[in-house]
Amino acid sequence: MTEPFVQLWTGDDLSDAEFTAVTELLRDRRQFDLGQYKDRCIRRRIAKRLRACKATDFSSYLKRLEMDRDELDTLLATISIHVSQFFRNPDTFQILEQKILPDLCRQARATGRTELTLWSAGCASGEEPYSLALLIDELAVTDLDIRILATDVSEPVLKLARTGQFDATRMNEVPAVVLEKYFRIENGRYHLIERIRDKVEFLRHNIMRDSDYPAADLILCRNVLIYFTRQEQERILTRFAASLPEDGALVLGRSETMADNVRCYYHSEFPVERVYRRTAEPVTAPVV
Protein backbone atom coordinates (compact mmCIF):
# COMPACT_ATOMS: atom_id res chain seq x y z
CA MET A 1 0.00 0.00 0.00
CA THR A 2 1.37 3.43 -0.84
CA GLU A 3 1.73 5.99 1.96
CA PRO A 4 -0.65 8.99 1.70
CA PHE A 5 1.11 12.07 0.41
CA VAL A 6 2.14 14.37 3.28
CA GLN A 7 3.12 17.85 2.24
CA LEU A 8 6.29 19.12 3.92
CA TRP A 9 5.09 22.65 4.52
CA THR A 10 7.82 25.27 4.87
CA GLY A 11 5.80 28.48 5.07
CA ASP A 12 7.16 29.82 1.79
CA ASP A 13 4.57 27.65 0.09
CA LEU A 14 1.67 29.71 1.48
CA SER A 15 0.21 32.25 -0.92
CA ASP A 16 -0.21 35.82 0.34
CA ALA A 17 -3.99 35.30 0.42
CA GLU A 18 -3.59 32.15 2.56
CA PHE A 19 -1.21 33.93 4.90
CA THR A 20 -3.64 36.84 5.23
CA ALA A 21 -6.56 34.47 5.93
CA VAL A 22 -4.71 33.11 8.97
CA THR A 23 -3.62 36.51 10.27
CA GLU A 24 -7.19 37.85 9.90
CA LEU A 25 -8.59 34.92 11.84
CA LEU A 26 -6.12 35.52 14.69
CA ARG A 27 -6.94 39.21 14.67
CA ASP A 28 -10.73 38.71 14.63
CA ARG A 29 -11.02 35.77 17.00
CA ARG A 30 -8.08 36.31 19.33
CA GLN A 31 -7.45 40.08 18.98
CA PHE A 32 -3.86 39.19 18.09
CA ASP A 33 -2.49 41.53 15.46
CA LEU A 34 0.43 40.09 13.54
CA GLY A 35 0.85 43.23 11.43
CA GLN A 36 4.28 44.14 12.79
CA TYR A 37 5.68 40.65 13.30
CA LYS A 38 8.23 39.46 10.77
CA ASP A 39 6.36 37.54 8.05
CA ARG A 40 8.99 34.84 7.64
CA CYS A 41 8.85 33.89 11.34
CA ILE A 42 5.07 33.64 11.22
CA ARG A 43 5.05 31.62 7.99
CA ARG A 44 7.46 29.10 9.50
CA ARG A 45 5.26 28.71 12.58
CA ILE A 46 2.07 28.26 10.54
CA ALA A 47 3.93 25.60 8.54
CA LYS A 48 4.83 23.85 11.79
CA ARG A 49 1.14 23.51 12.66
CA LEU A 50 0.26 22.43 9.09
CA ARG A 51 2.84 19.64 9.42
CA ALA A 52 1.72 18.69 12.93
CA CYS A 53 -1.89 18.42 11.71
CA LYS A 54 -0.68 16.46 8.66
CA ALA A 55 -2.59 18.91 6.47
CA THR A 56 -2.54 17.94 2.81
CA ASP A 57 -4.04 21.21 1.61
CA PHE A 58 -4.33 24.66 3.11
CA SER A 59 -8.09 25.12 2.76
CA SER A 60 -8.88 22.12 4.96
CA TYR A 61 -6.50 23.49 7.64
CA LEU A 62 -8.16 26.90 7.42
CA LYS A 63 -11.59 25.26 7.87
CA ARG A 64 -10.27 23.45 10.92
CA LEU A 65 -8.91 26.70 12.33
CA GLU A 66 -12.34 28.27 11.90
CA MET A 67 -14.13 25.40 13.67
CA ASP A 68 -11.62 24.26 16.27
CA ARG A 69 -10.82 26.78 19.03
CA ASP A 70 -8.10 24.54 20.44
CA GLU A 71 -6.22 24.51 17.16
CA LEU A 72 -6.51 28.30 16.94
CA ASP A 73 -5.03 28.58 20.45
CA THR A 74 -2.31 26.07 19.62
CA LEU A 75 -1.42 28.05 16.51
CA LEU A 76 -1.29 31.27 18.54
CA ALA A 77 0.93 29.59 21.14
CA THR A 78 3.19 28.26 18.35
CA ILE A 79 3.47 31.71 16.81
CA SER A 80 4.32 33.44 20.05
CA ILE A 81 6.86 30.81 21.23
CA HIS A 82 6.98 30.59 25.01
CA VAL A 83 10.34 28.93 25.44
CA SER A 84 12.11 30.15 28.56
CA GLN A 85 14.36 28.99 31.39
CA PHE A 86 15.01 30.01 34.97
CA PHE A 87 18.17 32.18 34.94
CA ARG A 88 18.34 32.03 31.13
CA ASN A 89 21.79 33.39 30.23
CA PRO A 90 23.19 33.10 33.76
CA ASP A 91 25.81 35.84 33.14
CA THR A 92 22.98 38.33 32.73
CA PHE A 93 21.44 37.32 36.05
CA GLN A 94 24.84 37.55 37.71
CA ILE A 95 25.13 41.16 36.51
CA LEU A 96 21.61 41.86 37.71
CA GLU A 97 22.35 40.41 41.12
CA GLN A 98 25.79 41.93 41.65
CA LYS A 99 25.50 45.28 39.89
CA ILE A 100 22.14 46.42 38.55
CA LEU A 101 19.75 45.55 41.40
CA PRO A 102 22.05 46.87 44.17
CA ASP A 103 22.55 50.06 42.09
CA LEU A 104 18.82 50.56 41.60
CA CYS A 105 18.24 50.08 45.33
CA ARG A 106 20.96 52.63 46.11
CA GLN A 107 19.53 55.13 43.62
CA ALA A 108 16.04 54.73 45.11
CA ARG A 109 17.31 55.26 48.66
CA ALA A 110 19.39 58.29 47.61
CA THR A 111 16.28 59.99 46.20
CA GLY A 112 14.12 59.09 49.19
CA ARG A 113 12.01 56.56 47.33
CA THR A 114 10.65 53.54 49.14
CA GLU A 115 9.60 51.40 46.22
CA LEU A 116 11.03 49.92 43.00
CA THR A 117 9.29 48.33 40.04
CA LEU A 118 10.86 45.54 37.99
CA TRP A 119 9.02 44.59 34.79
CA SER A 120 9.42 41.41 32.80
CA ALA A 121 7.75 42.18 29.44
CA GLY A 122 7.07 39.00 27.45
CA CYS A 123 7.47 36.83 30.55
CA ALA A 124 6.25 33.55 28.97
CA SER A 125 5.48 30.96 31.67
CA GLY A 126 7.12 32.98 34.42
CA GLU A 127 10.70 31.68 34.58
CA GLU A 128 12.18 35.16 34.05
CA PRO A 129 10.17 37.16 36.64
CA TYR A 130 10.41 34.31 39.15
CA SER A 131 14.20 34.32 38.65
CA LEU A 132 14.12 38.03 39.52
CA ALA A 133 12.01 37.24 42.60
CA LEU A 134 14.60 34.66 43.70
CA LEU A 135 17.40 37.22 43.31
CA ILE A 136 15.46 39.78 45.31
CA ASP A 137 14.83 37.26 48.05
CA GLU A 138 18.52 36.44 48.22
CA LEU A 139 19.41 40.16 48.32
CA ALA A 140 17.15 40.40 51.39
CA VAL A 141 16.19 44.05 50.84
CA THR A 142 13.98 45.07 53.74
CA ASP A 143 13.69 48.84 53.41
CA LEU A 144 12.19 48.97 49.90
CA ASP A 145 8.92 47.71 48.54
CA ILE A 146 9.92 45.86 45.36
CA ARG A 147 7.14 45.18 42.88
CA ILE A 148 7.75 42.54 40.21
CA LEU A 149 5.39 42.91 37.30
CA ALA A 150 5.25 40.20 34.63
CA THR A 151 3.29 40.65 31.42
CA ASP A 152 2.65 38.66 28.29
CA VAL A 153 0.25 38.80 25.38
CA SER A 154 -0.81 35.18 25.82
CA GLU A 155 -3.45 34.42 28.45
CA PRO A 156 -2.83 30.60 28.43
CA VAL A 157 0.86 31.14 29.14
CA LEU A 158 0.08 33.54 31.98
CA LYS A 159 -2.28 30.98 33.49
CA LEU A 160 0.56 28.48 33.44
CA ALA A 161 2.93 31.03 34.95
CA ARG A 162 0.62 31.66 37.89
CA THR A 163 0.71 27.97 38.87
CA GLY A 164 4.46 28.24 39.55
CA GLN A 165 5.02 24.66 38.35
CA PHE A 166 7.75 23.74 35.91
CA ASP A 167 9.20 20.81 33.96
CA ALA A 168 12.79 19.81 34.61
CA THR A 169 13.70 21.23 31.15
CA ARG A 170 13.18 24.75 32.53
CA MET A 171 15.45 24.22 35.51
CA ASN A 172 18.85 23.51 33.94
CA GLU A 173 20.47 26.74 35.15
CA VAL A 174 19.12 26.65 38.70
CA PRO A 175 21.87 25.95 41.26
CA ALA A 176 21.24 22.95 43.53
CA VAL A 177 21.06 25.11 46.66
CA VAL A 178 18.36 27.28 45.09
CA LEU A 179 16.40 24.19 44.01
CA GLU A 180 16.63 22.84 47.50
CA LYS A 181 15.60 26.07 49.19
CA TYR A 182 12.79 27.27 46.92
CA PHE A 183 11.25 24.27 45.11
CA ARG A 184 9.32 21.14 46.01
CA ILE A 185 9.40 18.25 43.56
CA GLU A 186 6.11 16.46 42.92
CA ASN A 187 5.60 13.90 40.16
CA GLY A 188 8.73 15.08 38.40
CA ARG A 189 7.59 18.73 38.36
CA TYR A 190 9.16 21.59 40.25
CA HIS A 191 6.76 23.61 42.40
CA LEU A 192 7.96 27.05 43.41
CA ILE A 193 7.18 27.90 47.05
CA GLU A 194 4.23 30.20 47.61
CA ARG A 195 6.23 32.98 49.26
CA ILE A 196 8.17 33.56 46.00
CA ARG A 197 5.13 33.01 43.75
CA ASP A 198 3.33 35.76 45.64
CA LYS A 199 6.07 38.25 44.84
CA VAL A 200 5.16 38.30 41.12
CA GLU A 201 2.09 39.97 39.67
CA PHE A 202 1.06 38.58 36.26
CA LEU A 203 -0.99 40.69 33.85
CA ARG A 204 -1.94 40.45 30.19
CA HIS A 205 -0.33 43.23 28.19
CA ASN A 206 0.50 43.50 24.51
CA ILE A 207 3.65 45.59 24.10
CA MET A 208 2.79 46.17 20.47
CA ARG A 209 -0.79 47.33 20.86
CA ASP A 210 -1.29 48.54 24.44
CA SER A 211 0.11 51.99 25.05
CA ASP A 212 -0.34 51.94 28.84
CA TYR A 213 3.22 50.94 29.70
CA PRO A 214 3.86 50.91 33.45
CA ALA A 215 6.63 53.05 34.92
CA ALA A 216 9.54 50.77 35.85
CA ASP A 217 13.10 51.01 37.16
CA LEU A 218 14.22 47.84 35.41
CA ILE A 219 12.70 46.36 32.26
CA LEU A 220 13.59 42.90 31.04
CA CYS A 221 12.37 42.39 27.50
CA ARG A 222 14.39 39.46 26.30
CA ASN A 223 13.79 37.35 23.22
CA VAL A 224 10.58 39.18 22.34
CA LEU A 225 11.61 42.08 20.08
CA ILE A 226 13.36 39.63 17.79
CA TYR A 227 9.94 38.74 16.29
CA PHE A 228 9.09 42.34 15.39
CA THR A 229 10.00 44.55 12.48
CA ARG A 230 12.70 47.17 13.10
CA GLN A 231 10.11 49.94 12.97
CA GLU A 232 7.99 48.25 15.65
CA GLN A 233 11.10 47.62 17.77
CA GLU A 234 11.82 51.36 17.68
CA ARG A 235 8.29 52.20 18.79
CA ILE A 236 8.49 49.75 21.69
CA LEU A 237 11.98 50.90 22.73
CA THR A 238 10.74 54.51 22.71
CA ARG A 239 7.86 53.55 24.99
CA PHE A 240 10.30 51.74 27.29
CA ALA A 241 12.41 54.90 27.37
CA ALA A 242 9.33 56.87 28.45
CA SER A 243 8.69 54.31 31.23
CA LEU A 244 12.21 54.34 32.65
CA PRO A 245 13.73 57.05 34.87
CA GLU A 246 17.22 58.34 34.10
CA ASP A 247 19.69 55.52 34.94
CA GLY A 248 16.88 52.95 34.91
CA ALA A 249 17.97 49.70 33.28
CA LEU A 250 16.80 47.82 30.21
CA VAL A 251 17.87 44.28 29.38
CA LEU A 252 17.34 42.77 25.93
CA GLY A 253 17.98 39.21 24.73
CA ARG A 254 21.54 38.20 23.86
CA SER A 255 20.79 38.08 20.13
CA GLU A 256 18.89 41.39 20.10
CA THR A 257 20.38 44.76 19.26
CA MET A 258 19.41 48.33 19.99
CA ALA A 259 17.65 49.95 17.02
CA ASP A 260 19.62 52.90 15.60
CA ASN A 261 16.97 55.61 15.92
CA VAL A 262 16.53 55.11 19.66
CA ARG A 263 20.18 54.83 20.71
CA CYS A 264 20.04 58.36 22.16
CA TYR A 265 17.82 57.06 24.97
CA TYR A 266 20.18 54.34 26.11
CA HIS A 267 23.83 53.75 26.75
CA SER A 268 25.21 50.26 26.73
CA GLU A 269 26.59 49.20 30.10
CA PHE A 270 27.24 45.49 29.53
CA PRO A 271 27.30 45.05 25.75
CA VAL A 272 27.45 41.24 25.60
CA GLU A 273 24.59 40.81 28.04
CA ARG A 274 22.65 43.63 26.35
CA VAL A 275 22.23 45.64 29.54
CA TYR A 276 21.45 49.31 28.86
CA ARG A 277 20.92 52.36 31.07
CA ARG A 278 18.47 55.12 30.33
CA THR A 279 20.20 58.38 29.41
CA ALA A 280 18.85 61.82 30.36
CA GLU A 281 17.58 62.40 26.80
CA PRO A 282 13.88 63.31 27.04
CA VAL A 283 11.45 61.37 24.90
CA THR A 284 10.14 63.97 22.52
CA ALA A 285 8.66 61.73 19.82
CA PRO A 286 4.96 61.01 20.31
CA VAL A 287 4.69 57.73 22.19
CA VAL A 288 1.78 56.08 20.34
Ligand X SMILES: C[S@@+](CC[C@H](N)C(=O)[O-])C[C@H]1O[C@@H](n2cnc3c(N)ncnc32)[C@H](O)[C@@H]1O
Q: Is 161 one of the binding residues for ligand X (CB under 6 A)?
A: no
Alpha-carbon span 76 to 11, nearest angstrom: 15
Tell me: does residue 134 bind ligand X (CB under 6 A).
Answer: no
Is residue 129 a contact residue for ligand X (CB under 6 A)?
A: no
Binding of ligand X by 222 (CB under 6 A): yes
Using the rule CB under 6 A, which residue among 43, 82, 170, 235 binds ligand X?
82
Integer Cα distance of 123 and 119 in angstroms = 9
Q: CA 211, 245, 204, 255: dihedral to nearest 10 degrees?
A: 100
**Under rule CB under 6 A, residue 152 binds ligand X:** yes
| Contact characters 85-124, ligand X, x per CB under 6 A | ---x---------------------------------xxx
Comparison of 81 and 285: residue with beta carbon closer to ligand X:
81
- The answer to whether 220 and 249 are in contact (CB under 8 A) is no
**Rounded to an integer, what distance in angstroms lies between the CA atom of residue 218 and that of residue 230?**
22
Do 157 and 82 meet the contact criterion of CB atoms below 8 Å apart?
A: yes
**What is the 8-class DSSP label of residue 99?**
I
The one among 21, 41, 62, 81 contacting ligand X by CB under 6 A: 81
Shortest CB 133 distance to ligand X, Å: 14
Residue 269 in the binding site for ligand X (CB under 6 A)? no
SS3 state at 59: helix
Q: Contact with ligand X (CB under 6 A): which of 154, 165, 233, 238?
A: 154
Q: Across the beta sheet with 200-204, what order do the strands follow?
A: 200-204, 145-152, 115-121, 218-221, 249-252, 275-278, 266-270
The stretch among 38-46, 76-84, 101-109, 166-174 that binds ligand X (CB under 6 A) is 76-84
Q: Is 26 in the site for ligand X (CB under 6 A)?
A: no
Q: How far apart are CA 212 and CA 34, in angstroms?
A: 19
Give the range of 19-27, 75-83, 175-183, 275-283 binding ligand X by CB under 6 A: 75-83
Number of residues that bind ligand X (CB under 6 A): 21
Give the span between the Cα atoms of 100 and 274, in whole angstroms: 13
Contacting positions for ligand X (CB under 6 A): 80-84, 88, 122-124, 128, 152-154, 157, 206-208, 222-224, 253
